Amino acid sequence: MDDRSLLALAEQAKEKAYAPYSQFRVGAALLTEEGKLFTGCNVENASYSLTNCAERTAVFSAVAAGCRNFSALAVTSDAQTYTYPCGACRQVLIEFNPDMKIIMGNINGEFIVRTAADLLPLYFHGDTFGKPEERK
C-alpha cells in the first residue's frame, strides 16, 4: 500500500473521532508487515488523562487482533500543519518497530515521512536495564 492510500484511510478514521472537548479530530491507519490494516481515531474524555490518541487506538486494536509486526502508520487531522504523534504515542510505536514508517499528513493532503526512531531518538526500550545479572 502506498503512503497516500494509507493516509486516505487515516482521513476516513478521523471522521469517527470523539473530540467534544478539543474539537481536534485525529485519525490513524496502521499497516502490518503481513498487509493487514487497522484504523483508529482519538477518543476524548472529560478527564483528559483518560483520552486515547488515534495512533494508540490503532496499535491497541492490532495487538488485540494478534498482530505485532507493523511497517507503517499514517496520521492526520484537521490542522494546516502536519500531524505528529505525541510523546506517548511515539513510545508505543517504537516498542513495536523503531524503523516503522510514520506518515504525517495535514488537512490539505500533504504529508512528510519519517521513521519512529527519527521521531523519538534515544528512546526507552526493554534493554535499557540490561539483564538482571548485569544490573549494578
- The annotation status of 134 as a binding-site residue, yes or no, is no
Instruction: Verify whether residue 55 is a known catalytic residue.
Output: yes
Catalytic, out of 55, 95, 110, 133: 55
- The annotation status of 5 as a binding-site residue, yes or no, is no
What is the DSSP annotation of 32-84?
ETTS-EEEEE-B--SSGGG-B-HHHHHHHHHHHTT---EEEEEEEES-SS--P
Question: Three cell numbers at 120?
Answer: 523519538
- The annotation status of 41 as a binding-site residue, yes or no, is no
- The annotation status of 86 as a binding-site residue, yes or no, is yes
Cα 23 versus chain centre, distance:
19
- The annotation status of 89 as a binding-site residue, yes or no, is yes
- The annotation status of 17 as a binding-site residue, yes or no, is no
Whether 112 contacts 82, CB under 8 Å: yes
Residues forming the active site: 55
* Residue numbering of the annotated binding site for Zn(2+): 53, 86, 89
Binding site, residues? Answer: 42-48, 53, 86, 89
Query: Binding site for substrate, residues?
Result: 42-48
